Amino acid sequence: MIAQFPGPVGTPGTTAIFKDSTIFVNWASNCVVTRGFMDIAQPTLGLTSFGADTNGTKKAGVNGVVSLGDGGYAILTFPKPIMNGPGPDFAVFENAFNDTFLELAFVEVSSDGINYFRFPSVSNTQTLTQIGPFSNSGDATKLHNLAGKYRVNYGTPFDLQDMLNIPGLNVNHITHVKVIDVVGCIQAPYATYDSQNKPINDPYPTNFNTGGFDLDAVGVIHQNNNVGLTENEWVSSLIAYPQPASDFVYVSLPSGLVPEQIILYDMSGKKVAIEKQPVIETRHLTSGIYWLEIQTNETFLRKKIFISK
């Protein structure tokens, strides 16, 4: 099968994010779990029972995990809405004990807590042989937009750029994240499917009280501190000059706002400059489009800028 996506922790190009990364600005503050069966094919065994709903909140690695069971799900909310910024916007943490025992989950987002929209997931894992309950045959390079592709303490990132232009979804005001266990069975009627209608193969059956996806945490990378403001209002309140820039970019803020941190990102989401003062040196950067983010004493502003050499 094709291996085309970022690989495990520590490999070149991996997108795994360590729980202590300074990229995280917040964590889920509330979690409500609807448990799934220990084995969806044997409902008489009952539901999973390991962990409490609150284990899905706070920083990863702090307060344990909650097991979702086959097809179970968790709905998480946050102190402030998640927004679409440069690169990934949030990350989901599972507790896989190595890089190959991977229990997976779909991820959906909502702007109102009613209508949910799923990230387009891809699994290129083989579907001829069922991965067993203790099989170490998962491969991160074959998985995309599925939570759980990375081991414990490393989050799987999700980029709201993938969800642009979906009617009913405001990618700059994500209030709810839903994490849904992938059953992992490759046989009907219990199979669950990726966005390309392929059955997703992961450890099955896991018929014990810790079965299914084990949710640790959801970390926020970009949060909307300007709740209610439109993108046009953000842009108009921030002046960056000259445009296009060459050696320096100077930042002018509305009266009363004091910059606490100014960050410049390239279009891949990589931080290329961080400053405390309202001027950023850009002479070392290549020509192109960049995102300027300013955290102030009261709010959060961002603007697209251009650098030309």
Q: Where are the domains of the chain?
A: 1-224, 231-307
* Top-confidence residue, 224 or 14: 14
The secondary structure of the chain, three-state, reads CCCCCCCCCCCCCCCCEECCCCCCCEECCEEEEECCECCCCCHHHCECCCCCHHHHCCCCCCCCCEECCECCEEEEEEEEEECCCCCCCEEEECCCCCCCCCCCEEEEEECCCCCCEECCCEECCCCCCCCCCCCCCCCHHHEECCECCCCCCEEEEECHHHHCCCCCCCCCCEEEEEEEECCCCCCCCCCCECCCCCECCCCCCCCCCCCCCEECEEEECCECCCCCCCHHHHHHCCEEECCCECCEEEEECCCCCCEEEEEEECCCCCEEEEECCCEEECCCCCCEEEEEEEEECCCEEEEEEEECC
Nearest C-alpha neighbor of 122 from the set 214, 269, 4: 4
Least trusted range by pLDDT, from 36-50, 70-84, 90-104, 166-180: 166-180
Please give the Cα distance from 47 to 58 (Å, whole number): 24
Q: Within a 10 A sphere around the Cβ of 283, how many other Cβ atoms?
A: 10
Q: Which amino acid belongs to residue 134?
A: F
Question: Domain 231-307 - what CATH class?
Answer: mainly beta
CA dihedral 58, 202, 154, 34 (to 10 degrees): -10
Please give the Cα distance from 193 to 106 (Å, whole number): 10
Half-sphere exposure of 13 (CA within 13 A, CB side): 6
Please give the Cα distance from 97 to 26 (Å, whole number): 25
pLDDT of 255 over the 60 cut: yes
Half-sphere exposure of 89 (CA within 13 A, CB side): 24
Q: Name the phi and psi angles at 271, rounded to 5.
A: -70, 125
Q: Which amino acid belongs to residue 9?
A: V
Nearest C-alpha neighbor of 285 from the set 303, 271, 302: 271
Only one residue has tokens 């990726």, namely 194
pLDDT of 230 over the 90 cut: no
**What pLDDT band is residue 277 in, cutting at 50, 70 and 90?**
confident
Structure-block tokens of residue 138: 């998962």
pLDDT of 144 over the 90 cut: yes
pLDDT of 125 over the 90 cut: yes
Mean pLDDT of the chain: 91
At 188 the pLDDT is: 94
Nearest C-alpha neighbor of 308 from the set 281, 291, 290, 287: 287
In total, the chain counts a number of residues equal to 309
At 55 the pLDDT is: 98
Does a cis peptide bond (omega within 30 degrees of 0) precede residue 86?
Answer: no
pLDDT of 187 over the 50 cut: yes
Q: pLDDT (tens digit, 9 = 90+) per residue, 161-182?
A: 999 888 888 888 899 999 999 9
pLDDT of 137 over the 60 cut: yes
In CATH, what is the architecture of 1-224? Sandwich (2.60)
Whether 19 and 59 have beta carbons less than 8 Å apart is answered as: yes
